[in-house]
Chains A and B, each alone.
Chain A
Amino acid sequence: MKLRNHYLKENVTGYLFILPQALLFLLFIVYPILEGLRLSLFKVQYQKETFVGWDNYVTLFNDPVFFKSLVNTVVFVVFIVVLTVAFALFVASSVFDKNAKYVSFIRGSYYIPVMVSMVVMSMVWGFLLNPANGLISYAARELEFSTVNLLGNKNTVMPVIIFVTFATNVGQAIILYIASMIGVPKDLFEAAEVDGASRVQVIFKILIPLVKPTTLYIAIMNIIAVLKIFVVIQLLTGGGPNNSSVTMMYYLYNNAFKYNQLGVASAVGVIMFLITFLLSVPQLRAMFKEK
């Protein structure tokens, strides 16, 4: 008993130090998750809440738009994350060992879109792509092409959103990769040079394996961010045409704030939480294993 008391006394300072963060975590992360779980089992009306069991989930699984949003979200995650990692690796591995000023210039130019708010970026793209009075469609008309409406075509709307999101996000990944690559010990490159390794071999055999923790971090962060993709959809397409670009987050938003179906929206939230959790666990485990 005395030993236990002593052990507790030893650690109480530590616990007190993490207490504010733990309180905030409980209040702003754990409580909303539990509340979301609870609400997903209720029908929420202005004056009352009624327990409906799994009804909200049944509603979801009977709604084809929900499945469309699920598929679209997966497509976004796969394409945006793969494009971001591949392009960032390409740019970073091409420039990391060049002149410092040149590296700074490249870093800066790719980072500018990251600093600009996604809302502003979406509005600029919206102006460019508007089929009736946008710049791209105007140019197409002037050049005597047929009417261009990339956002109104269900085959082109997804690639456009993928490109816009990728172009806005890739700067962050490039910065992280360049920093990570600059940190790779120089003697490895020198040894490779002595052995007569080509640039491609250096990149694939030394650089990419050594920046694996960064790749994992970028992949996890981007997966989580893209799962929640919303602003671009809301401002550019409104989920259209005919729900072709609706994502889970947009579907959740519509249910919660446009249709006032808080229970259904919470059920979407719970499903999104589970997906993110399942996707993140193996990657986090791999990351901790590395360390």
Chain B
Amino acid sequence: MKIKNRISKWVMLGLVLVLAAGCASKENGGQENGSANAGSAKKKVEIALWLTPQWKGVFEASEANADYDSFFKYAAEKFAEQYDKYDVKVNVQVVAGDQRDELLNVNLNGGTAPDIFFESVFAMGDYAHRGALAPLNDIVDDAAKQDIAQSYWDNVTFGSDVYFYPFSHNPGTFAYNADMFKAAGLEKFVGGETEIKTWTLAEYEEILEALKTKLPKDQYSNAYPMALFALNNQADTWNLAYLRMFGNPFFDEQGKIVIDDERGVKSGEWLKKIYDAGYTNPGAESVSSNDANAMFQNQQLAISFTNAVLFNNAKADMEAGKAPKFDVRLANIPSESGDPLSFTYVVGSSVFNTGDEVRMQVAKDFVKFYSTDAELVKASKNGIPVRSSVAAEFKDQYPLFAAYDANAKYMFAFTGNVPGYSELRQVLYPELQAIYTDEKSPAQAIKDYQEKGNAVIQKAKENSTIK
């Protein structure tokens, strides 16, 4: 009995030790990145780069095995070959845009944030305010400042520091199916292939009416004139443009939302009007931007949202036979004044403040490398290059660059560069849903959005680390 007791005690002790060892080895695993590799000359450093889907391929979507991570994998190889400070391995991961904040918050709180995030700046500004990003002033040199226009630097500067290295920008417009337009007898409204067509609001309503009533059902069954979506936080940018349709400036000079006036309410009523008239896909409150995009590609929608990268990807999918082929062209979001509603996302890289000086240094060096390398920056042609040199080089090959350029004077900053934008976009779509489901009048929803939105901005301002 005594022996038996003793054996069981030792077994238990063993189990406890195994358990403790398990925990300890996990801790060691977490510090592996950046640890010295005694066998090689250079110290081995692993960094993680995350991006949301941007363009496919290194330079062209038509390349073999082109995917969203192709560019960064290629850039990482090129960087590792010439980098003399460390033996670098870059782990590239593509994350879904609508899951970005969840993933980042979980990883930030768990101490496993990525080293670099490549994304539209508007979606990442909050992380700068929260003190999660490292300033990039030290990797921005005069050559870059000269080649990239000041407006882009303004977009990526918070307080007095640069937090994002701009790479390209992505103007948002409408995409329309010119074949459907012609089938509905709307030839006169179809713009040129390299044009971003501008319609007046009255013309736009005429287009929607014709698409609803004159589109041949045998050719386009189950199709609707225009995309409208409000399922989740992705329902912000284009909807924010629609809310400016009647001239409301949206933000005042102090960065407060001022949508609750006659013009703002009128735009809410316009959205409700076109929804009720059947000019949009049904169930906007349950439809996501991804659904709308897929419907447009399947010719179930005649007009949808797009940006430069999405537009190029859609065309590439058609060329590759991955999606039905049709004549897709660009148009501006109309407004009552007749001027187009134009906005852009600046896309660039941010470096997370991980606390590991070595990894942060390598991350910065890598960002600088692919944002300045003469060959790699050419990939920015998949959106619209922020570098004048690249834009000039490709302007003949990509005539749309000039069309986007012509829109620049109508550009508005849709985020107002306010802190708390990530949470702000979370309070917009429930109010839009309330409009579409008749739970609130447009006036009430606009009023509630302004109240909730300003509370979010106020709270974020108080918590911001950037003064």
A residues lining the B interface (CB < 8 Å): 12-13, 16-17, 19-20, 23-24, 43, 45-47, 129-133, 137-138, 141, 147, 149, 151-154, 237-243, 254, 256-260, 262
Contacts of B440 in A (CB 8 A): 242
| B426 A254 Cβ-Cβ under 8 A | yes
- Pairs A–B under 8 Å by Cβ, sample size 24: A13-B9, A20-B16, A20-B19, A45-B131, A46-B108, A130-B291, A131-B282, A131-B286, A132-B283, A132-B286, A138-B222, A153-B437, A154-B439, A238-B232, A240-B286, A240-B433, A242-B430, A254-B426, A258-B102, A259-B426, A260-B101, A260-B130, A260-B422, A260-B423
Residues of A within 8 A of B231 (CB): 238, 240
User: Do B131 and A149 have beta carbons less than 8 Å apart?
Assistant: no
Residue ranges of B at the interface with A (Cβ–Cβ < 8 Å):
5, 8-9, 12-13, 15-16, 19, 101-102, 105-106, 108-109, 126, 130-132, 222, 224, 231-233, 281-287, 291-292, 294-295, 298, 300, 422-423, 426, 429-431, 433-434, 436-437, 439-440, 463, 465
- Interface contacts (Cβ under 8 Å), in number, total 131
Contact between A241 and B437, CB atoms less than 8 A apart: yes
Q: Which residue of the partner chain, among B102, B300, B433, B434, contacts A133 with CB atoms under 8 Å?
A: B300
CB-defined contacts of A240 to chain B, threshold 8 Å: 231, 285-286, 429-430, 433
- Nearest to A155 among chain B residues (CB) is B437
Q: Are A154 and B437 in contact (CB under 8 A)?
A: yes
Is A242 within 8 A of B291, CB to CB?
no
The answer to whether A130 touches B105 (Cβ under 8 A) is no
Q: How far is the CA of A290 from the CA of B179 in the complex (A)?
A: 73
Taking a contact as CB atoms under 8 Å apart, the answer to whether B101 and A258 are in contact is yes
Chain B hits for A131, CB < 8 A: 281-283, 286-287
- In the complex, what residues of B have CB within 8 A of residue A257's CB? 101-102, 105-106
- Closest chain-A Cβ to B131's Cβ sits at a distance in Å of 5
Inter-subunit contact A132/B463 (CB<8 Å): no
Given contacts A47-B465, A238-B231, contact A16 B12 (CB under 8 A): yes
Q: Nearest chain-A residue to B109 (Cβ)?
A: A262
Contact between B222 and A141, CB atoms less than 8 A apart = yes
Contact A147 B426 (CB under 8 A): no
Q: Choose from B105, B224, B295, B431 the contact partner of A258 (Cβ within 8 Å).
A: B105
Q: B426: which A residues are within 8 A, CB to CB?
A: 254, 258-259
Contact call B423/A258, Cβ cutoff below 8 A: yes
CB <8 Å contact, A133 and B291: yes
In the complex with contacts A13-B9, A20-B16, A241-B439, A259-B434 CB distance below 8 A: no
B283 adjacent to A130 (CB under 8 Å): yes
Write the chain B residue with the least CB distance to A12: B9
Query: What is the minimal beta-carbon distance from A13 to any residue of chain B, in angstroms?
Result: 5
- Residue from A132, A137, A258 having most chain B Cβ neighbours under 10 A: A132
Bound-state Cα–Cα, A152 to B132, Å:
37
Cβ of B108: which chain A residues have Cβ within 8 Å of it? 46
C-alpha spacing A256/B110, complex, angstroms: 12
Q: Which of B5, B8, B422, B433 has the most CB of A within 10 A?
A: B433
CA distance A23 to B92 in the complex (A): 37
* Shortest Cβ gap from B353 to chain A (Å): 8
Most buried by A among B106, B233, B282: B282
Contacts of B12 in A (CB 8 A): 16-17, 19-20
Report the Cα distance A254→B224, complex, angstroms. 33
Find chain A residues with CB under 8 A from B285 CB. Answer: 149, 152, 240-242
* Contact B8–A16 (Cβ < 8 Å): yes
Taking the closest CB of chain A, its distance from the CB of B40, in whole angstroms, is 34
Beta-carbon contact of B16 and A19 below 8 Å:
yes
Assembly CA distance A129 to B436 (angstroms): 17
Residues on A with beta carbons closer than 8 Å to the beta carbon of B437: 152-154, 241-242
Bound together, the chains give a CA A256 to CA B126 distance in angstroms of: 15
- Judge whether A13 and B283 touch: CB under 8 Å: no
Query: Nearest Cβ in chain B — how far from A97, in angstroms?
Result: 45
A residues within 8 A CB of B232? 238
Q: Across the interface, which residues of A come within 8 angstroms of B5, CB to CB?
A: 13
Nearest first, the 9 closest Cβ-Cβ pairs linking A and B are A131-B283, A16-B12, A149-B283, A242-B434, A241-B433, A147-B282, A152-B286, A152-B285, A257-B102
Partner of B233, one of A130, A149, A258: A258
CB nearest to B448 among chain A residues: A242
> How far, in Å, is B220 (CB) from chain A's closest CB?
14
Question: In this complex, which of B5, B224, B285, B423 has the most chain A Cβ atoms within 10 angstroms of its Cβ?
Answer: B285
- Per the bound structure, the CA–CA distance linking A20 and B222 in Å amounts to 61
Residues on the A chain within 8 Å of B233, using CB: 258
Which residues of chain B have C-beta atoms less than 8 A from A132's C-beta?
224, 281-283, 286-287, 291-292, 295, 300
- Known contacts being A16-B9, A242-B437, A258-B233, is A23 close to B16, with CB within 8 Å? yes
Nearest-CB residue, chain B, relative to A243: B430
Distance between B431 CB and nearest chain A CB, rounded to angstroms: 7
The residues of A that contact B132 with a CB separation of less than 8 Å are 46
- Which B-chain residue is minimally distant from A238 (CB atoms)? B232
Among residues of A, the one whose C-beta sits closest to the C-beta of B10 is A16
Closest CB of chain A to B12's CB: distance in Å?
4
A157 to chain B, nearest CB (A): 9
CA A129 to CA B286, docked complex, whole Å = 9
Contact of A17 among B8, B430, B465 (CB under 8 A): B8
Determine if A242 and B431 form an interchain contact, defined as CB atoms under 8 angstroms apart: yes
Q: Which residue of A lies closest to B431 (CB)?
A: A242
Shortest C-beta distance, A271 to chain B (Å), equals 20
A112 to chain B, nearest CB (A): 27
In the complex, what's the smallest C-beta–C-beta distance from A241 to chain B, in angstroms?
4
User: What is the bound-complex CA distance between A131 and B292, given in angstroms?
Assistant: 11
Q: Which residues of A contact B463 (CB under 8 A)?
A: 43, 45
Cβ-defined contact, B283 with A45, below 8 A: no
Residues of A near B286 (CB, < 8 A) are 129-132, 149, 151-152, 237, 240-241
Query: Which residues in B have their C-beta under 8 angstroms from that of A19?
Result: 12, 15-16
Contact A242 B433 (CB under 8 A): yes
Q: How many Å from the CB of A149 to the closest CB on chain B?
A: 4
Q: Min CB distance, A250 to chain B, in Å?
A: 12
- For A43, the chain B residues whose CB sits under 8 A away are 463
Shortest C-beta distance, A245 to chain B (Å), equals 11
- Interface pair B105/A256, CB less than 8 Å apart: yes
Q: Which residues of chain B are within 8 angstroms of A239 by Cβ–Cβ distance?
A: 430
Q: Which among A23, A43, A153, A258 has the highest number of chain B CB atoms within 10 Å?
A: A258
A166 CB → nearest B CB, Å: 21
A258 CB to nearest chain B CB (Å): 5
Which A residue sits closest to B18, measured CB to CB?
Answer: A20
Given contacts A13-B5, A241-B437, A242-B434, contact A46 B283 (CB under 8 A): no
A238: which B residues are within 8 A, CB to CB? 231-232
Contacts of A13 in B (CB 8 A): 5, 8-9
Contacts of B282 in A (CB 8 A): 131-132, 137, 147, 149
Q: Which of A133, A141, A154, A243 has the most CB of B within 10 A?
A: A133
Which residues of chain B come closer than 8 Å to A154, judged between CB atoms?
A: 437, 439
